[in-house]
Structure 1
């Protein structure tokens, strides 16, 4: 087995699922890999067993940054997996396992390209930023943004799966809860209570058309919104005094996160003011849209670099999924971003049973990453 494949397999074999909260094991493996190549790195703790990692070489401006997340989503029903999700099984030119596509293949490719650049004597300024918790909350990216790691970068490459396309932007991701408070009573005497489900239902009905007048973004497309979680009641003969829902929205540059918040709060306030009981809004996560012009230096040079390795330029596209870039863009510093990785999101491999990555594609992207950095500084 070649070194690059063995490295990816080692990362996939570490359970860093959302429930495991165990990114430190991956961070230590990568730190040793970098150290063996003569590159210093630092771990930035978020919580027990959860470490971000940052490494860099070179000085001056501009600064090119790679970023990727060390966590993966939960496995789901283990009985449905053909191979154990943390075995890193190899067959038919593919490596199977949770995170193989999203995004340990991108993570490994970034690390190996970073090492190759350093060992070649490349003397420009390159940074590697690896995070915890991207799959639920992006706490690592938020922590590193607050610590200033995006305050001086000029170009950011996110190694998420993109199915052989360059993504120059993506929608935001916005999670919220609405909580309804009523008064408990026996179901035979409902007038003595206040059913918390009623106001929550009023909100669900209002939410269906709450964003009908929002403009369609010329690049990202329409704002997408859904109520996705509903919790209410625990006994059939009791009027529930509490109910809650959760929803997800994909903001666009044409209707940004703050406007979404204002629209939701206004709807909740109007329903809260009508009749008994109360309704409260709670913001859970707010990730911003990311958009880089298609004629920007990073997009143009990246496509030129990929053509130099693979012989053809790639299609440019956007995604409705969010990345850690949503948090890094909260920095006052403005920089260009692309999302490009070896995983295949077109086949819905991310977050799916029997997730895999093509090993040929993975090896090619390592070379493309190195070429992208070199072309960027040309």
Structure 2
């Protein structure tokens, strides 16, 4: 009977943490996992997304139900590495915690899924159904990997989906969408002593952004689970010299959307408001750089109920079931699924540690999730 030892589980995680898949280079992670699966007779497929970025899909079992399990291979930049207590790309254990960029978000969950599949296959424990492993690229920036999997039909026959993002004490069953827009205002340069010979690109853009902020953040529509839509202007660039009128100003905006005020309506409002300003002499252009819809499910499924029991059994935690303001690959993977589709986000780590310096996952949680995921798969396919 195949059971990975704790030392093997730690070494495999260390190998993957050492791969610097910072918003790129996921192909090295995919190749590592592909070779690991091949050692145990599991076929996997590299799914190209761009010239340099790929997904990885692997399956065990056959027939129904089809359980989709997913995690992303990219991580965010470690930032100033001198601020880390230890090398961010060397798995380091201190006080029961495993430190390294991606330990929490979300290579620990990804390895939990992969090794669980290997053990199930090696021990012939999966007597019924299919488990489809979907490792994605580009989740941290744009979700291109999950969009490709959706477009190529990998979710068409899936009956359950969970994403192994960090959330050990809370099952996330719905989350807000995420919409990024780049708004450019074009003016005409001039000397600041003679502004009437030019057109200051900043002025109409500032007024436009304040109006959009009032329209969106002041909207009273609210989702019972996710709350209200939230708009934030996060980047503003303009001008290159203090005594010159700027001919260009660019702002970038992130909007966290809800079903009641969705991405399409927000985009339409941005564009119609720009048209109004342009009719008065401005030159404002709106570009959508990312659009991930909100995910709304009922949270009522045998998968969620079983997971609550397993969380209590293996972690000693009373598991909450909630919505989240953050977005995941489920925005793309669930585009055609109804509100009653069984979905959850549940994995080792802590949500609050995502993207932080000295990112870590509790070692005990990392080990416990192997048992949770295995018993969950077997419980859903019995």
Instruction: Report the TM-score range of the alignment, normalised by the length of the smaller protein.
Output: over 0.9
Structure 2 counterpart of 1:59, from 58, 62, 72: 62
Q: 1:185 and 1:312, CA in 2 relative to 1: closer, same or farther beyond 3 A?
A: closer
Structure 1 counterpart of 2:114, from 111, 115, 121: 111
RMSD: 1.6
Residue aligning to 1:72: 75
Residue aligning to 1:258: 264
Residue aligning to 1:314: 319
Deviations 1:266-295 (A, max 9, x none): 222222222x33111111101111122132
Deviation at 1:215, TM superposition (A): 0.8
Deviation at 1:310, TM superposition (A): 4.3
Preserved CA contact (<8 Å) 1:67 1:159: yes
1:256 and 1:4 map into 2 onto residues whose CA distance is 41
Please give the residue correspondences for 1:1-378 in structure 2 after superposition, counting only pairs within 5 Å.
Answer: 2-18=7-23, 21-121=24-124, 122-123=126-127, 124-211=129-216, 212-274=218-280, 276-310=281-315, 313-331=318-336, 335-345=341-351, 348-378=352-382
Deviation at 1:308, TM superposition (A): 4.7
TM-score relative to the length of structure 1: 0.94
Other structure's SS at 1:209 match: helix
1:295 and 1:327 map into 2 onto residues whose CA distance is 21
Other structure's SS at 2:54 match: strand
Preserved CA contact (<8 Å) 1:53 1:129: yes
Deviation at 1:49, TM superposition (A): 4.0
Count of aligned pairs between the two proteins: 373
1:158 and 1:59 map into 2 onto residues whose CA distance is 21
2:219 and 2:358 map into 1 onto residues whose CA distance is 40
Preserved CA contact (<8 Å) 2:297 2:338: no
TM-score relative to the length of structure 2: 0.93
Deviation at 1:61, TM superposition (A): 2.1
Other structure's SS at 1:47 match: coil
Deviation at 1:333, TM superposition (A): 7.6
Give the unaligned 5+ runs of structure 1.
Answer: none
1:332 and 1:315 map into 2 onto residues whose CA distance is 23
